[in-house]
C-alpha cells in the first residue's frame, strides 16, 4: 500500500469565526429564495399535471367509446345493407325470419357491449330480433324510429339515455334506416348500447374527492352520464356550459379552468369530442384535490427550513469543536488502514493496486497464490502483459486511457468500472475473473493508483455455457414443435386420401366467399359432382381401385382450377368446387370440361383399366341462393337431377 500524506490542519478552520456566521446567513437567504422558487414551480406543475391527467383520461375514454361506436355503426350499416328489402315487406317475415335472425344473433355474439339487434318495418313493428322469444315491440312512437322516418337525410340516430325499471344499467339506443333504391324508409335496424361498461370506467377513474367525469351530447347539450351522478339532470342540458359553447364554435378538444355549473366547484377541465359522433367526454379535477399535495409540500418546506436553521446551528457548534477532534481522526485513520490491510491479506478475492504511470502492480494480496499460483512477492512489479492475456491486457490498457480522459473532464462516474479479464496462471492456464477497479485520486484530484478486486468466475462461466447449450437445445425442440403444429393445422383441413380440402374447410371458406360476393356485388358459382356407379367400381375392382379413382379425379380437378378456386372432397365420392367471380354460364362450361376430361380418363390399377364418368350440378349466387346453405342445396338438387336424367352430364339448378 502507498504511504499517505501527513495529516494537515484545514486552512478554513484558521479563519475568523465571523466568516462562519456570514456564511450561514448567506446560506439561509439563498435557501429561502430557492424554496420560494421551488414552491412556485411545484404549484404550476400541479396545475399542469391536473390538466394533463384530465386530458389523458378523456383521451382514453374517447378512444374506447369511439372504437365501440365505430364498430357498432359499421355492424348496423352492414345489417341494413345486407338485409333484403323483401324481408320487410308484408308477409315476408316467416320466409326470411330464420336467416335474418341467425345473422342478427351471429352479429350480437361478437359485440358484448350491446343488448342485441332488432329490425322494425316501416310501420314501426318489430320484425326480427337477435334474441328469439322477446315480446312484440311497437317503435312507431319512439324517437329512434320517428327521427329516421321524418328525416330522409339522417343515416344514424342516438336516443336519449334510457334506464329501464328493474335494470339500473343505462343504455343508449343507436339506430340506422333501411331504405330502398328510391330512398323510401323500409325499416329500421337498432341496437341498445349498454353504457354500464362506460359507467364502470367512470366509477374506477381517480379524479380526487371532488372530480367529475361527464358524457354529453354535442348536438343538444344533454347530459348522458356523470360521475358522481346527477339523476335529476339526465337528458337535460347543463346551464351556462362554456364547453358546449366551444364545441358549437367548432372545437373538438381542449381544456379550461372554471367553476362547475352544477355545483360551483372550481376545476381544471379537459374535453374531447368522440370521433364524428354527437358526443363528447369531459373530465374535471378540482383545485382542492390537485393542490392538496402542494399544501402538504409547503408545510414540509416550512418544517425543512426550521430544521435547516437548527442544522446550521449544529454545524457552527461542530466546527468550533473540530480542532479537538482532528488528532483523534488521524488516529482512527491509521487504525482503519491497518484494518484494511488485515482484510486484504485474508480475503478470498485478490486485492491489488496498480501504479497508473508505470502500469505495474504495486501491491497484491496473498490470495493471489490460490488464483494464479504465484506468491505476492513474485507478482508485485509485473506489467499488464505479464499477468493478463494479450487480449485482456490490450483491453485494460485502452480502458485506462479512456477513463483517465473522462476523469480529467470531470466525469465522476468513470472512477469505478467493472469488467471481465483473463489472468495467466503459472502453468499457462487462463483464469476468467471479474474485476472491480477504483481510481484513487491524490490531494490534487489526479488519479495515481488503481485499486482492484479480482474474483475467479470459472464456475459461473461453465454454468453460463451449459445454460446457453440448454437454451439452444430447447429452441431446436420449440422449432420442431412449431413445424408439427403447422403440419397438424394443414391436416385438419385436408382430406387424407385425395389431398383436397375437406368439408370443414369448405364450411369456413364458403361463408366468407358468399359474404364477399354480397359485399362486392360479384358472381359466385358452386359445382357439386359425383362419380357415377362408384359402388360398382368398388364391388368389381375392390376398394383400392376405388381409392385410386378418387385420387385421379382429385388430381384432374386440382390441375384445372384457378388459384382463387377451391376444390373439396364433400363426402364419399362427392366433390364440390367453389368458383369465386365466375358467373353461371362460365361455371357450366368449366363443369362440362371436367366431365369430358374424366370421361376420357383410364385409371390403371394392377394392369386393369378402370373408367368412370361423373355427374355435375351447378348453382350460382345470387340467382339460386343468397346463403351458403341455399347454394349447397341448389347444387345438390341439380346434381340429383343430372343423375336422374341419365348420369354423365352437367345440369344447372332450374328452380
- pLDDT, one tens digit per residue, over 75-92 is 888 888 888 878 888 766
pLDDT grade, residue 333 (50/70/90)?
A: low
Q: Pick the residue with more confidence: 511 or 459?
A: 511
Confidence check: pLDDT of 189 > 80: yes
Output the pLDDT for position 195.
83
Of the residues 573, 592, 599, 623, only one is catalytic, namely: 573
The grid coordinates listed for 81 are 345493407
Contact assessment for residue 555 and residue 652, using Cβ atoms and an 8 Å cutoff? no
Measured CA distances, 137 to 118, 124, 125, 163, 176 (Å): 10, 8, 6, 17, 17
Q: Which of 563, 577, 567 has the alpha carbon at shortest distance from 619? A: 577
Confidence check: pLDDT of 313 > 80: no
β-strand partners of 213: 227, 283
Per-chain mean pLDDT for the chain: 83
Rounded distance between C-alpha atoms, residue 176 and residue 194, angstroms: 17
Q: Where are the alpha helices (DSSP H) in 110-195?
A: 143-150
The three-state secondary structure class of 387 is helix
Long-range contacts of 48-52 (CB under 8 A, 24+ apart): 49/290, 50/268, 50/285, 50/287, 50/290, 51/255, 51/268, 51/270
pLDDT grade, residue 4 (50/70/90)?
A: very low
Contact assessment for residue 452 and residue 352, using Cβ atoms and an 8 Å cutoff? yes
pLDDT digits (tens, 9 = 90+) for 576-621: 999 999 999 999 999 999 999 999 988 988 888 899 999 999 999 9
Rounded distance between C-alpha atoms, residue 83 and residue 119, angstroms: 9
Q: Which of 118, 121, 77 has the alpha carbon at shortest distance from 100? A: 118
β-strand partners of 630: none
Q: Which of 528, 529, 522, 516 has the alpha carbon at shortest distance from 622? A: 522
Rounded distance between C-alpha atoms, residue 251 and residue 261, angstroms: 20
Rounded distance between C-alpha atoms, residue 553 and residue 600, angstroms: 11
pLDDT digits (tens, 9 = 90+) for 33-90: 777 777 777 777 777 877 888 888 888 888 888 888 888 888 888 888 888 878 888 7
Contact assessment for residue 378 and residue 416, using Cβ atoms and an 8 Å cutoff? no
Rounded distance between C-alpha atoms, residue 206 and residue 200, angstroms: 12
Q: Is 251 designated active site?
A: no
pLDDT grade, residue 249 (50/70/90)?
A: confident
First CA to last CA across the chain, in angstroms? 107
β-strand partners of 419: 435
Confidence check: pLDDT of 2 > 60: no
DSSP assignment letter at 5: P
Task: Please provide the DSSP assignment of 270-310 as one string.
Answer: EEEE-TTSSEEEEEEEEHHHHTHHHHHHHHHHHHHHHHHHH
For the whole model, what pTM was predicted? Answer: 0.43
Q: Output Rg (C-alpha) for the chain, integer angstroms.
A: 43
Q: Which of 234, 230, 240, 232 has the alpha carbon at shortest distance from 222? A: 234
Angle between helices 17-82 and 196-204 (to 10 degrees): 180
Strands 608-610, 603-605: pairing kind: antiparallel
Task: Work out the number of other CB atoms within 10 angstroms of the CB of residue 630.
Answer: 16
Confidence check: pLDDT of 5 > 50: no
Percentage of the chain lying above the pLDDT 90 cut:
21
Distance, C-alpha 616 to centroid of its chain: 49
Angle between helices 93-109 and 17-82 (to 10 degrees): 160
The grid coordinates listed for 261 are 355549473
Rounded distance between C-alpha atoms, residue 595 and residue 593, angstroms: 5
pLDDT grade, residue 11 (50/70/90)?
A: very low
pLDDT digits (tens, 9 = 90+) for 126-185: 888 888 767 778 888 888 888 888 888 888 999 898 886 555 678 889 999 998 888 888
The three-state secondary structure class of 359 is coil
Rounded distance between C-alpha atoms, residue 188 and residue 44, angstroms: 53
Task: Work out the number of other CB atoms within 10 angstroms of the CB of residue 600.
Answer: 9
Phi, psi of 162 (to 5 degrees): -115, 140
The three-state secondary structure class of 516 is helix
Counting every residue written for the chain, the total comes to 655
Enclosing H/E stretch for 525: strand 524-531
Taking the C-alpha atoms of 466, 469, 471 and 472 in order, what is their torsion angle to the nearest 10 degrees? 180
Rounded distance between C-alpha atoms, residue 226 and residue 234, angstroms: 9
The grid coordinates listed for 273 are 369530442
Confidence check: pLDDT of 12 > 50: no
Name the least confident of 60-69, 264-273, 329-338, 514-523. Answer: 329-338
Amino acid at each position: 500500500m502507498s504511504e499517505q500524506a501527513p495529516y494537515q490542519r484545514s486552512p478554513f478552520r484558521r479563519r475568523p469565526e465571523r466568516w462562519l456566521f456570514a456564511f450561514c446567513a448567506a446560506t439561509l437567504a439563498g435557501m429561502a429564495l430557492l424554496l420560494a422558487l421551488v414552491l412556485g414551480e411545484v404549484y404550476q406543475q400541479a396545475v399542469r399535471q391536473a390538466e394533463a391527467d384530465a386530458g389523458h383520461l378523456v383521451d382514453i375514454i374517447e378512444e374506447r367509446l369511439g372504437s365501440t361506436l365505430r364498430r357498432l355503426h359499421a355492424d348496423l350499416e352492414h345489417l341494413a345493407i345486407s338485409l333484403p328489402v323483401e324481408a320487410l315487406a308484408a308477409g315476408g317475415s316467416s320466409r326470411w325470419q330464420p336467416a335474418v335472425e341467425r345473422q342478427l344473433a351471429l352479429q350480437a355474439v361478437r359485440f358484448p357491449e350491446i343488448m342485441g339487434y332488432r329490425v322494425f318495418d316501416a310501420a314501426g313493428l318489430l320484425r326480427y330480433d337477435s334474441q328469439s322469444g322477446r315480446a312484440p315491440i311497437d317503435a312507431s312512437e319512439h324517437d329512434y324510429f320517428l327521427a329516421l322516418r321524418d328525416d330522409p337525410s339522417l343515416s344514424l340516430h342516438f336516443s336519449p339515455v334510457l334506464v329501464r325499471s328493474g335494470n339500473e344499467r343505462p343504455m343508449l339506443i343507436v339506430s340506422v334506416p333501411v331504405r330502398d333504391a328510391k330512398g323510401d324508409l323500409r325499416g329500421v335496424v337498432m341496437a341498445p348500447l349498454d353504457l354500464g361498461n362506460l359507467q364502470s370506467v367512470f366509477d374506477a377513474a381517480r379524479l380526487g374527492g371532488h372530480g367529475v367525469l361527464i358524457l354529453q351530447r354535442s348536438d343538444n347539450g344533454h347530459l348522458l352520464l356523470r360521475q358522481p351522478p346527477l339523476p335529476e339532470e339526465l337528458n337535460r342540458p347543463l346551464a351556462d356550459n362554456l364547453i358546449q359553447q366551444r364545441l358549437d364554435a367548432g372545437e373538438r378538444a381542449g381544456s379550461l379552468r372554471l367553476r362547475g355549473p352544477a355545483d360551483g366547484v372550481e376545476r381544471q377541465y379537459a374535453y374531447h369530442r368522440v370521433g364524428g359522433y354527437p358526443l363528447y367526454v369531459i373530465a374535471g379535477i378540482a383545485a382542492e384535490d390537485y393542490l392538496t399535495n402542494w399544501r402538504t409540500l409547503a408545510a414540509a418546506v416550512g418544517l425543512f427550513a426550521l430544521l435547516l436553521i437548527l442544522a446550521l446551528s449544529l454545524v457552527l457548534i461542530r466546527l468550533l469543536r473540530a480542532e479537538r477532534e482532528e488528532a483523534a481522526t488521524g488516529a482512527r485513520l491509521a487504525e482503519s488502514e491497518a484494518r484494511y490491510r488485515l482484510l486484504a491479506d485474508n480475503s478470498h478475492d485478490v486485492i491489488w493496486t496498480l501504479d497508473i504511470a508505470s502500469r505495474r502492480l504495486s501491491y497484491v494480496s496473498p490470495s493471489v497464490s490460490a488464483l494464479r499460483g504465484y506468491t505476492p512477492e513474485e507478482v508485485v512489479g509485473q506489467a499488464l502483459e505479464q499477468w493478463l492475456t494479450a487480449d485482456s491486457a490490450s483491453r485494460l490498457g485502452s480502458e485506462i486511457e479512456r477513463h483517465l480522459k473522462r476523469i480529467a473532464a470531470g466525469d465522476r462516474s468513470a472512477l469505478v468500472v467493472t469488467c471481465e479479464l483473463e489472468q495467466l496462471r503459472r502453468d499457462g492456464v487462463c483464469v476468467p475473473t471479474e474485476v472491480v477497479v477504483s481510481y484513487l485520486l491524490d490531494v490534487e484530484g489526479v488519479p495515481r493508483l488503481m485499486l482492484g478486486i479480482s474474483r475467479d468466475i470459472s464456475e459461473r462461466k461453465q454454468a453460463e455455457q451449459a445454460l446457453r447449450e440448454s437454451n439452444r437445445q430447447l429452441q431446436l425442440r420449440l422449432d420442431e414443435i412449431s413445424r408439427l403444429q403447422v403440419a397438424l393445422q394443414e391436416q385438419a383441413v385436408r382430406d387424407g386420401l385425395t389431398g383436397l380440402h375437406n368439408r370443414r374447410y369448405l364450411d369456413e371458406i364458403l361463408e366468407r366467399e358468399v359474404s364477399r360476393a354480397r359485399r362486392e356485388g360479384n358472381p359466385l358459382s358452386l359445382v357439386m359432382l359425383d362419380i357415377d356407379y362408384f359402388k360398382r367400381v368398388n364391388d368389381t375392382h375392390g376398394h383400392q381401385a376405388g381409392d385410386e379413382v378418387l385420387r385421379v379425379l382429385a388430381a384432374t380437378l386440382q390441375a384445372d382450377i384457378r388459384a382463387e378456386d377451391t376444390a373439396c372432397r364433400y363426402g364419399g365420392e362427392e366433390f364440390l368446387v367453389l368458383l369465386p367471380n365466375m358467373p353461371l354460364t362460365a361455371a357450366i362450361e368449366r363443369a362440362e370440361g371436367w366431365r369430358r376430361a374424366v370421361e376420357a380418363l383410364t385409371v390403371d390399377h394392377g394392369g386393369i383399366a378402370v373408367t368412370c364418368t361423373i355427374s355435375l350440378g351447378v348453382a350460382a349466387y345470387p340467382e339460386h341462393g343468397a346463403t351458403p346453405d341455399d347454394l349447397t342445396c341448389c347444387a345438390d338438387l341439380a346434381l340429383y337431377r343430372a343423375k336422374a336424367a341419365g348420369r354423365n352430364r352437367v345440369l344447372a339448378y332450374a328452380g
